């Protein structure tokens, strides 16, 4: 005969286990919905308004395979990370425009930019960016250097850049240019100089 | 479930099939919601899922339609497999659950199972199971040991099941092979397969191991093969956990090269791989420092053998291949095909100038970047030339490596990611020489640096060539005359600076 208090104890433990299981399932569902909503609404912080500043964008031109600097004025927030996001937003608006010198696939976005001290910038691209990107050594290199050099030229202190796709490390952007390693901005400068010369 | 391609064992399409199955059966499982029993199962299943074992047991299924693998589930000491998941890639399958009864329809054959019972009805005929049928959240599990009897009844055709090895062959799909040691000096083991294969290859002292996870490879007459060779005395065939393995023993370091579109694997010492090329004047050289690949990558070859009689030769690497098509240059032209054709032409041009050449990929096979770098590093070549093709722009682009921040070298072992650092000067020299010859041929050329693997992993002069069409017509990339013109200039460029490259390799 099992003692009555033991039976009650087991029943109580089972009820607690079931309740916790249900609660965990409920919380997982809520968290999943929240993430989806956040991602769908705005991948990068909303555009800012206010006084504008002059910045230097490194814009890729497929016609002659070059990387050219372009000075524009855009409103920039005070925070470094937000500034980085705005810079890349401005760059992508050129690439996604009608007369794009270096077209990207539809729905290409920079999901986020993280500035991690000391000197590391992490650029997180969305899946459509990589999937819709044309495949080729030069065309991929132009994209990566354009993003990285634009950040490096306008945000002081960036010494390394890492590119992720959908928050994960990927072997290459579209089959060629390596995304597994960090880009050293000093080393990259040599390549950028060569690309600025064009064909 | 991991699903591989049906006809080509090179392709590996990873599909999270479990998710599809659970979605499909979700409607039936919904009938139980409200019952404490289902809640208990949900809690227990969540616990089990979160504590999955890394050494999961698998069964591999090979058929004319698809090759794939499934996890084997253990219940009360008995191995089970999901029947719906097993049949899904083979035909049209649907299942319904009604209380303890689980009905599955495969094409036009209907079968019925009852949870907890060992009797089932297949195509209207009774069938005895060796252990009880299990129904878990609408998912029907059958004992693994019944498959050799159950599947012929459902599929209406023969199957061959090796339960101990976890390998199930549906129909006549087996890939056979022969192995023979050629009496050259040093000897080579030539393995010929009846279909293309793409094993993962690793080496350890005295052994070269090839694991065939995706191919229905079956044992030769004897599982243990002996050869009349002191260098390669034996090989053995083993099967376990859904994969076949061929282990070649050798008294010297061995490397494997693919040819004949993946139907032939030649096992040899690194020097033998280029022995077919014309002999060259001997030059004494110490071994080049060895970059160390990351632990996760399986190098295809052993570290370079010390050679006191090194000859100048070239490694040409046709980029992409197998299930990695590279760029779609047009609707019909894939980059991997252009690079292979161009690489073969390059070999022809190099060898016409007495420059022995090793082609890393001489067929439509998949090679990882680490495998390419390991093979090139082990080969002892003076220069590595990678070939790419593009539809964008015109002419030729020559790349040397843009290496990442340098890691730490340990003696002769170089940091894998920045191994090229010490050879950048030689690489630039090669690029400059080749560019000069291309310009002499009136071909538009540009020299650049690029973060392009595996250039940064190589411990010798290394360049990449990206060939664009001469004008707006992409089909010109396939033109023999255009390829020949570029290949000739590249070979001449390398030939002109071979003395400097040889000196740099020392």
| Closest residue to A136, CB basis, from B43, B327, B403 | B327
- Per-residue pLDDT tens digits for A72-92: 999 888 888 899 999 999 999
Q: How far is B445 from chain A (nearest CA, A)?
A: 8
A91 and A128 assigned to the same domain: yes
Q: Quick one: pLDDT band at residue B21, thresholds 50, 70, 90?
A: very low
pLDDT at residue A94, as a whole number: 95
CATH code of the domain in which B84 resides: 3.30.457.10
Which of B269, B303, B328 delimits the end of a domain? B269
* Structure tokens that stand for A9 in this block: 């104890």
pLDDT at B281 over 60: no
Q: What is the largest CA-CA distance in chain A?
A: 91
**Residue B64 domain boundaries:** 2-170
pLDDT at B30 over 50: no
pLDDT at residue B12, as a whole number: 31
Q: Report d(CA B79, CA B73) in Å as an integer.
A: 6
- What average pLDDT score do residues B272-281 get? 36
A163 contact residues in B (CB cutoff 8 A): none
* Contact yes or no for B493/B437 (Cβ under 8 A): yes
- What average pLDDT score do residues A106-125 get? 92
pLDDT at residue A38, as a whole number: 47
A3 and A76 assigned to the same domain: no
Q: A117 in a domain, yes or no?
A: yes
Q: Are strands A120-125 and A160-165 parallel, antiparallel or unpaired?
A: parallel
Tell me which residues of chain B have a C-beta less than 8 Å from any C-beta of chain A.
Answer: 36, 39-40, 42-43, 46, 320, 324, 326-328, 335, 369, 388, 390-393, 397, 399, 402-405, 417, 444, 446-453, 456, 464, 466
B388 contact residues in A (CB cutoff 8 A): 136-137, 176
pLDDT at B304 over 80: no
| Closest residue to B448, CB basis, from A24, A175, A194 | A194
**Residue A29 domain boundaries:** 1-41
* Structure tokens that stand for B456 in this block: 């940064």
Q: Quick one: pLDDT band at residue A143, thresholds 50, 70, 90?
A: very high
Q: Quick one: pLDDT band at residue A198, thresholds 50, 70, 90?
A: low
pLDDT at residue B115, as a whole number: 92
B217 and B299 assigned to the same domain: no
B10 and B36 assigned to the same domain: yes
Q: How far is A137 from chain B (nearest CA, A)?
A: 7
* Cβ–Cβ below 8 Å for B46 and A188: no
pLDDT at residue A15, as a whole number: 95
B308 and B408 assigned to the same domain: yes
B292 and B436 assigned to the same domain: yes
A37 and A57 assigned to the same domain: no
- Say how many C-beta atoms besides its own lie within 10 A of residue A75's C-beta: 13
Q: Which of B78-82, B175-179, B403-407 has the lowest mean pLDDT?
A: B403-407
pLDDT at residue B292, as a whole number: 57
B51 and B195 assigned to the same domain: no
**Count of the separate structural domains present in chain A:** 2
pLDDT at B133 over 90: yes
Q: A82 in a domain, yes or no?
A: yes
Q: A46 in a domain, yes or no?
A: no
pLDDT at B397 over 50: yes
Q: Which of A37-41, A101-105, B438-442 has the lowest mean pLDDT?
A: A37-41
Q: Report d(CA B95, CA B138) in Å as an integer.
A: 9
- What value does the mean pLDDT of chain A take? 88
Q: Report d(CA B105, CA B92) in Å as an integer.
A: 8
Q: A143 in a domain, yes or no?
A: yes
pLDDT at residue A110, as a whole number: 94
* Cβ–Cβ below 8 Å for B46 and A25: yes
pLDDT at B34 over 60: no
A74 and A28 assigned to the same domain: no
pLDDT at B22 over 80: no
* Cβ–Cβ below 8 Å for B335 and A135: yes
B351 and B480 assigned to the same domain: yes
Residue ranges of E strands in B442-497: 445-450, 461-467
Q: How far is A53 from chain B (nearest CA, A)?
A: 32
Helix, strand and coil percent figures for chain B, each rounded to 5? 30, 30, 40
Q: Quick one: pLDDT band at residue A196, thresholds 50, 70, 90?
A: confident
Give the best residue of B35, B450, B457, B470 to mutate against chain A (max A CB count within 10 A): B450
A172 touches chain B (CB under 8 A): yes
Q: How far is A162 from chain B (nearest CA, A)?
A: 11
Q: Which residues contact A199 (CB under 8 A, 6 or more apart)?
A: A64, A65, A66, B393, B444, B446
pLDDT at B71 over 80: yes
A15 and A84 assigned to the same domain: no
B181 and B158 assigned to the same domain: no
Q: Please give the model's pTM, rounded to 2 decimal places.
A: 0.55
Tell the residue number behind the tokens 């009905």, with chain if given. B103
- What average pLDDT score do residues B42-58 get? 51
Q: B274 in a domain, yes or no?
A: no
| Closest residue to B392, CB basis, from A18, A134, A144 | A134
* Contact yes or no for B370/B297 (Cβ under 8 A): yes
Its sign, for the CA torsion B370, B376, B378, B383, is negative
A72 and A98 assigned to the same domain: yes
Which of B153, B170, B187 delimits the end of a domain? B170
Sheet bearing B134-136, strands edge to edge: B73-75, B78-82, B139-143, B134-136
Q: How far is B268 from chain A (nearest CA, A)?
A: 30
- Per-residue pLDDT tens digits for B321-373: 988 899 999 888 999 999 999 999 999 999 998 888 888 888 888 888 988 99
Report helix, strand or coil for A4: helix
Per-residue b/e over A132-165, b at no fewer than 16 CB within 10 Å? ebbbbbbbbbbbbbbbbbbbbbbbeebebbbbbb
Q: How far is A38 from chain B (nearest CA, A)?
A: 24
Q: How far is B468 from chain A (nearest CA, A)?
A: 10
Q: Which of B47-51, B101-105, B171-175, B415-419 has the lowest mean pLDDT?
A: B47-51
pLDDT at A145 over 90: yes
B250 and B300 assigned to the same domain: no
* Cβ–Cβ below 8 Å for A24 and B46: yes
- What average pLDDT score do residues B183-187 get? 77
A35 and A67 assigned to the same domain: no
pLDDT at residue B279, as a whole number: 35
B234 and B156 assigned to the same domain: no
A182 and A112 assigned to the same domain: yes
* Cβ–Cβ below 8 Å for A25 and B42: yes
Q: Report d(CA B382, CA B374) in Å as an integer.
A: 14
pLDDT at A71 over 50: yes
Q: B276 in a domain, yes or no?
A: no
* Structure tokens that stand for B244 in this block: 């076949």
A65 touches chain B (CB under 8 A): yes
Q: A47 in a domain, yes or no?
A: no
**Count of the separate structural domains present in chain B:** 3
Q: B97 in a domain, yes or no?
A: yes
* Contact yes or no for B63/B74 (Cβ under 8 A): no
Q: Quick one: pLDDT band at residue A142, thresholds 50, 70, 90?
A: very high
> Considering chain A, what percentage of its residues have pLDDT values greater than 70?
89
Q: B277 in a domain, yes or no?
A: no
pLDDT at residue B261, as a whole number: 74
Its ipTM equals 0.75
B222 and B288 assigned to the same domain: no
pLDDT at residue B27, as a whole number: 35
B49: Cα separation from own chain's centroid: 30
Nearest-5° Cα angle at B300, B299 to B306: 90
Q: Quick one: pLDDT band at residue B69, thresholds 50, 70, 90?
A: confident
pLDDT at B4 over 80: no
- What value does the mean pLDDT of chain B take? 79
B448 contact residues in A (CB cutoff 8 A): 138, 141, 191, 194-195
* Contact yes or no for B323/B367 (Cβ under 8 A): no
pLDDT at B430 over 60: yes
* Contact yes or no for B456/B441 (Cβ under 8 A): no
* Cβ–Cβ below 8 Å for B404 and A139: no
pLDDT at A43 over 80: no
A7 and A37 assigned to the same domain: yes
pLDDT at residue B33, as a whole number: 35
B351 and B473 assigned to the same domain: yes
């Amino acid at each position: 005969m099992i003692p009555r208090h033991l039976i009650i104890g087991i029943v109580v433990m089972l009820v607690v286990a079931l309740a916790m299981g249900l609660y965990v399932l409920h919380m997982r569902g809520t968290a999943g919905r929240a993430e989806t909503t956040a991602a769908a609404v705005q991948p990068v912080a909303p555009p800012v308004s206010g006084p504008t500043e002059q910045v230097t964008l490194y814009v890729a031109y497929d016609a002659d395979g070059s990387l050219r600097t372009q000075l524009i004025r855009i409103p920039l927030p005070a925070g470094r990370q937000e500034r980085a996001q705005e810079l890349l937003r401005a760059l992508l608006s050129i690439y996604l425009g009608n007369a794009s010198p270096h077209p990207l696939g539809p729905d290409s976005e920079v999901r986020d930019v993280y500035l991690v001290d000391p000197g590391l910038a992490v650029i997180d691209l969305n899946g459509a960016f990589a999937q819709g990107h044309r495949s080729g050594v030069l065309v991929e290199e132009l994209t990566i250097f354009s993003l990285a050099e634009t950040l490096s030229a306008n945000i002081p202190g960036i010494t390394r850049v890492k590119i992720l796709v959908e928050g994960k490390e990927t072997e290459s952007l579209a089959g060629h240019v390596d995304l597994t390693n960090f880009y050293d901005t000093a080393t990259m400068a040599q390549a950028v100089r060569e690309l600025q010369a064009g064909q | 479930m991991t699903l591989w391609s049906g006809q080509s064992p090179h392709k590996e399409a990873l599909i999270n099939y479990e998710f599809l199955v659970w979605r499909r059966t979700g409607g039936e499982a919904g009938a139980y919601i409200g019952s404490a029993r289902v809640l208990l199962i949900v809690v227990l299943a969540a616990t089990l899922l979160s504590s999955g074992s890394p050494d999961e047991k698998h069964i591999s299924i090979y058929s004319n339609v698809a090759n794939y693998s499934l996890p084997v589930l253990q219940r009360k000491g008995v191995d089970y497999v999901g029947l719906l998941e097993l049949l899904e890639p083979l035909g049209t399958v649907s299942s319904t659950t009604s209380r303890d009864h689980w009905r599955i329809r495969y094409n036009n054959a209907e079968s019925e199972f009852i949870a907890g019972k060992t009797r089932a009805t297949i195509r209207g005929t009774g069938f005895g199971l060796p252990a009880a049928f299990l129904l878990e959240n609408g998912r029907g599990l059958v004992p693994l040991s019944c498959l050799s009897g159950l599947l012929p009844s459902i599929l209406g055709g023969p199957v061959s099941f090796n339960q101990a090895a976890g390998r199930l062959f549906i129909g006549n799909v087996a890939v056979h092979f022969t192995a023979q040691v050629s009496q050259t000096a040093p000897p080579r083991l030539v393995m010929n397969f009846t279909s293309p294969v793409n094993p993962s290859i690793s080496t350890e002292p005295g052994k070269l191991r090839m694991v065939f996870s995706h191919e229905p490879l079956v044992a030769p007459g004897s599982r243990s093969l002996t050869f009349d060779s002191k260098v390669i005395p034996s090989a053995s065939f083993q099967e376990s956990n859904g994969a076949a393995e061929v282990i070649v023993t050798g008294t010297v370091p061995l490397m494997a090269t693919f040819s004949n579109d993946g139907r032939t694997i030649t096992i040899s010492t690194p020097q033998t791989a280029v022995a077919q090329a014309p002999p060259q004047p001997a030059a004494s050289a110490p071994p080049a420092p060895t970059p160390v690949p990351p632990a996760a990558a399986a190098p295809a070859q052993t570290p370079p053998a010390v050679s006191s009689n090194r000859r100048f030769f070239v490694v040409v690497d046709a980029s992409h291949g197998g299930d990695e098509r590279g760029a779609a240059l047009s609707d019909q032209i894939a980059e991997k095909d252009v690079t292979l054709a161009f690489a073969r032409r390059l070999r022809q041009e190099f060898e016409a100038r007495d420059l022995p050449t090793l082609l890393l990929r001489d067929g439509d096979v998949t090679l990882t970047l680490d495998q390419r770098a390991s093979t090139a590093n082990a080969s002892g070549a003076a220069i590595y030339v990678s070939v790419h093709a593009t539809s964008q722009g015109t002419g030729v682009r020559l790349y040397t490596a843009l290496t990442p921040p340098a890691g730490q070298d340990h003696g002769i072992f170089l940091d894998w990611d920045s191994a090229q650092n010490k050879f950048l000067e030689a690489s630039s020299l090669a690029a400059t020489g080749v560019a000069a010859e291309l310009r002499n041929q009136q071909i538009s050329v540009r020299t650049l640096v690029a973060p392009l693997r595996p250039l940064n992993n190589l411990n010798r002069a290394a360049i990449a060539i990206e060939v664009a069409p001469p004008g707006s017509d992409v089909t010109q990339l396939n033109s023999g005359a255009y390829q020949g013109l570029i290949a000739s200039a590249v070979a001449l460029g390398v030939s002109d600076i071979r003395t400097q490259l040889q000196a740099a390799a020392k």
